[in-house]
Homo-oligomer: A and B are copies of this chain.
Amino acid sequence: MNVYTIGVGLIGGSFALDIQEHYSDAQIFGIDANESHLQEAKELGVIHHTASYEDLPNADVVIAAIPVDAAMEVIPKVLDLCNDNTLVFDVGSTKSKIAQVVKNHPKRRNFLATHPIAGTEFSGPKAALKGLYRNKTNIICEVEKTAFKLQERALEIFQKMGMRIRYMDVVSHDKHIAYVSHLSHISSFMLGKTVIEKEKNERDIFDMAGSGFESTVRLAKSSPAMWTPIFEQNKENVIETLEEYISNLETFKRLMQDGKFNEVYEEMHNTNHIKNILNGIQ
């Protein structure tokens, strides 16, 4: 099986490692705009060979693991180049825009829109992890638009990697993921910004930070190159979540200003059952 991963960073590289593990015959080819990442991925054993777009007619599987803006241009080009039996899937955090772009492509049935809910705050080939996707959810959108035998090939790969599959329409995906993923990143980046701004004037503030602070700002280490186009493509949904979040923060602030600490207690108490909800998350 010839597997081409376009993008050899955290996401594509982790797919490459798992496919090597589960398919002893798989040859993994890497394509990446960043030549040094490509060399690094080869040295780390993430990929077997470096490759270029001209090689794609030989592909059985193509994984597009690149920022969602780049995917808009790369995926139609990949579909143009691949053969009738190639499975092409993306892994982006937004799904409506890519669905529009491929909608009328003559090879639409070669494409599967996926979003594995997995990652870390790190990026690049060094960040690739074997087993990253084990027990994680992979959301598949518009599955009916993909050729059945290519759906089967994709599902076999995802199941060998230990992923749970959920099917969803692109509109619901983009709306829900804004809440449980995109908003978290903004809350974390802005928390980091607020504290860094303060620290400019007040030295050593970070000596006082503990593991709770570290946990809430962890996502502020994430790659702006990856996240900016996600926010751009999911602009309306993300703005909606931000407005609700800001409104909740304003309410909390007002309760404090008014000295209504019984209600401050209730605000926190009512959110405490997130404990049980989170138990379902790996």
Query: Residues of A with Cβ closer than 8 Å to B?
Result: 117-121, 136-137, 139, 166, 173, 175-177, 179-181, 183-199, 202, 205-222, 224-225, 227-229, 231-232, 235, 238-239, 241-246, 248-250, 252-253, 256-257, 259, 261, 264-275, 277-278, 280-282
Contact = CB atoms under 8 A, between A and B. Distances in A.
Contact of A220 (B188, B191, B249, B272): B272
B280 A210 contact: no
A256 B238 contact: yes
A125 to B, nearest CB: 18
Nearest to A139: B208
Given A218-B216, A232-B261, A176 B202 contact: yes
Contacts of A139: 208
Given A216-B215, A227-B268, A252 B119 contact: no
Nearest to A240: B198
21 contacts: A117-B209, A136-B210, A137-B208, A166-B208, A176-B202, A176-B208, A180-B206, A180-B213, A181-B210, A183-B191, A184-B213, A184-B216, A187-B249, A189-B268, A194-B248, A198-B241, A212-B218, A215-B216, A220-B268, A242-B249, A249-B249
Contacts of A199: 277
Contacts of A198: 179, 241, 244
B194 A244 contact: yes
A143 B120 CA distance: 42
Contact of A274 (B217, B246, B273): B217
B250 A246 contact: yes
A221 B274 contact: yes
Given A137-B207, A265-B224, A271-B196, A191 B187 contact: yes
A252 B256 contact: no
A235 B257 CA distance: 8
Contacts of A222: 268
A253 B239 contact: yes
Contacts of A227: 268
A275 B122 CA distance: 10
A70 to B, nearest CB: 14
A215 B219 contact: yes
Contacts of A253: 239, 242-243, 246
A112 to B, nearest CB: 18
Given A249-B245, A281-B206, A231 B271 contact: no
A153 to B, nearest CB: 24
A282 B211 contact: yes
Contacts of A267: 189, 193
